[in-house]
Amino acid sequence: MKKHSHIPSASLLRLFLLSFFVPLLGTLFSLQTAFAQDASFPNRPIKLVVPLAPGGATDTVARIYAKQLSSKLNTPVVVENRVGAGGMIALDSMSKAPADGYTIFVGNLSTNALNETVFAEKIKRKPSEYLTGITTLAIIPHIFVASAQLGINSIPELINYAKRNPDAINHASPGVGTYSMLDMLNFEKAAGLKMTHVPYNGGAGQYIVPMVSNEVQIAFINASSVIEMIRAQKLRALAVTTEKRLPELPNTPTMGEVGFPGVGTNAWQAIFVPVGTPKATIDKLFNASIDALNTEELKEAFKKQLINPAYSKSPEDFNRFVQQEVNRWAAILSNLNVKAE
DSSP string for residues in 100-143: SSSEEEEEEHIIIIIHHHHTTTT-SS-HHHHEEEEEEEEEE-EE
Q: Model confidence over 40-94: pLDDT tens digits?
A: 899 999 999 999 888 788 999 999 999 999 999 999 999 999 988 778 899 999 9
Residue 341 has pLDDT above 80, yes or no: no
Q: Model confidence over 155-198: pLDDT tens digits?
A: 999 999 999 998 899 999 988 878 899 999 999 999 999 999 99
Return the closest-CA partner of residue 235 out of 152, 328, 146, 114: 146
34 confidence band (pLDDT: 50, 70, 90): very low
Share of the chain above pLDDT 70, in %: 88
Q: Model confidence over 246-283: pLDDT tens digits?
A: 999 999 999 999 999 989 998 899 999 999 999 999 99
pLDDT at residue number 19: 56
DSSP string for residues in 244-308: S--TT-TTSPBTTTTT-TT-S--EEEEEEEETT--HHHHHHHHHHHHHHHTSHHHHHHHHHTT-E
Answer yes or no: are the C-beta atoms of 109 and 173 closer than 8 Å.
Answer: no
Cut 0.95: pTM above it: no
Q: Model confidence over 278-325: pLDDT tens digits?
A: 999 999 999 999 999 999 999 999 998 899 999 999 999 999 999 999
